A = this chain, B = another copy of it.
Amino acid sequence: MIAEDIFQQTFRKIGLRLTKQRKAIFEYLLNNHTHPTAQEIFSNLHPMYPELSLATVYNTLEVLVENSLIQNLGSAFDESVHYDADQSPHINLICTLCHKISDYPTESINQLTMQIRSTLGFRVSGARIVYYGKCRTCLKNNI
């Protein structure tokens, strides 16, 4: 299968074995842009992979981050670390009424990132930019 080859190549390139678990976790992050925590990933995959353990989820996430295949978004609002396969810095908008998280890609961030790099000599490896407030839909519906 072609899809298998892509995973194989990606993992082989960085000297990692392609296990069912790693494939499942990485695939999950590629297909879901919900910024899940380790626990959420585990809960979602467990029905399909009953043999998967939470410790493996943590191990795998660490390995994927180390090899820059995914991003660690840190824990901004709850006490858990969130992960994302989307590597480009983008804005998360959290609506405090409907609790939906939406993404907002914009050029401004690249400018800001470059500014930080050049002005401060800080080597940026990631960013979490979260705005919270009330989304257009909730405002319109006067919730």
Q: Name A's B-contacting residues (CB within 8 A).
A: 72, 74-77, 79, 81, 91, 93-96, 104, 106, 108-109, 111-113, 115-116, 120-136, 139
Q: Which residues of B contact A79 (CB under 8 A)?
A: 81
Asked if A116 contacts B91 (CB within 8 A), the reply is yes
Q: What is the distance, in angstroms, from A102's C-beta to the closest C-beta of chain B?
A: 8
Asked if A127 contacts B127 (CB within 8 A), the reply is no
Asked if A122 contacts B108 (CB within 8 A), the reply is no
Asked if B130 contacts A76 (CB within 8 A), the reply is yes
State A93–B133 Cα separation when bound (angstroms): 22
Q: What is the distance, in angstroms, from A67's C-beta to the closest C-beta of chain B?
A: 15
- Tell me the nearest residue of chain B to A126, going by C-beta: B132
Q: What is the distance, in angstroms, from A93's C-beta to the closest C-beta of chain B?
A: 6
Q: What is the distance, in angstroms, from A88's C-beta to the closest C-beta of chain B?
A: 14
Q: What is the distance, in angstroms, from A11's C-beta to the closest C-beta of chain B?
A: 24
Give me 25 A-to-B residue pairs in the complex whose CB atoms sit less than 8 angstroms apart, sorted by A's number. Answer: A72-B77, A75-B75, A77-B128, A79-B81, A91-B116, A93-B116, A93-B120, A104-B116, A108-B108, A108-B115, A112-B112, A113-B131, A120-B135, A120-B136, A121-B135, A121-B136, A121-B139, A122-B131, A124-B132, A125-B132, A126-B131, A127-B129, A127-B130, A128-B132, A129-B130
Asked if B123 contacts A115 (CB within 8 A), the reply is no
Asked if B106 contacts A74 (CB within 8 A), the reply is no
